[in-house]
Structure 1
């Protein structure tokens, strides 16, 4: 199993409700049309930030789980292939310069 955690930052001027609306109703359908859906594809939105005067490092934690590294690499290749539209669409709601993602090793105490 390969797990990826992506830390994403909304573009300046976008509120959290608009961010969620766009990601869930525009971006997710684009992603799911391009390649098989990962075993897990979760978006976790940090709430209560719109009235904050401080700028946090990220607004969304996206969690992706793949059966193996090959499946992950094939998925990434499809997402960011020329003319896939993913990178261009991300410009509509994300500050891509602040995106960070990591392959992680998960240790679970309880589920």
Structure 2
């Protein structure tokens, strides 16, 4: 499994609630329609009010952490190619500019490590 993590910033002139609605109800279905190689698509919305940040630290410059999972490296590459060079990428960037600040999204290819607690049911 391959995974991309994207850090995104909501536009200042769009409320957090409205941006989340636009993302979930309008943008996500478009992404899933145009990018069938995505196997798992998760959005994590930051809550600064519930954040654990020392008072001396600067607040994060992103509002949403998105996770995109692919079964293979070739599917990940196909996604990146479509985002960089394809009509799909152009349309998705155009759509996301309605609620995200264009040109500020950072995307990382990550190696995920998962630790699960094993529970003995005996």
Instruction: For structure 1, list consecutive stretches of 5 or more residues without a partner in the other structure.
Output: none
Q: How far apart, CA to CA, are the structure 1 residues paired with 2:14 and 2:48?
A: 13
1:32-111, aligned counterparts within 5 Å? 32-36=32-36, 38-48=38-48, 56-80=60-84, 81-82=86-87, 84-110=90-116
| RMSD between superposed Cα atoms in Å | 2.0
Matched positions, count? 107
Cα offset for 1:44? 0.6
- Bigger radius of gyration, 1 or 2? 2
Stretches (4+) displaced over 3 A: none
For the residue of structure 1 that corresponds to 2:87, the secondary structure is coil
Counterpart in the other structure of 1:5:
5
Structure 1 length-normalised TM: 0.83
Structure 2 length-normalised TM: 0.76
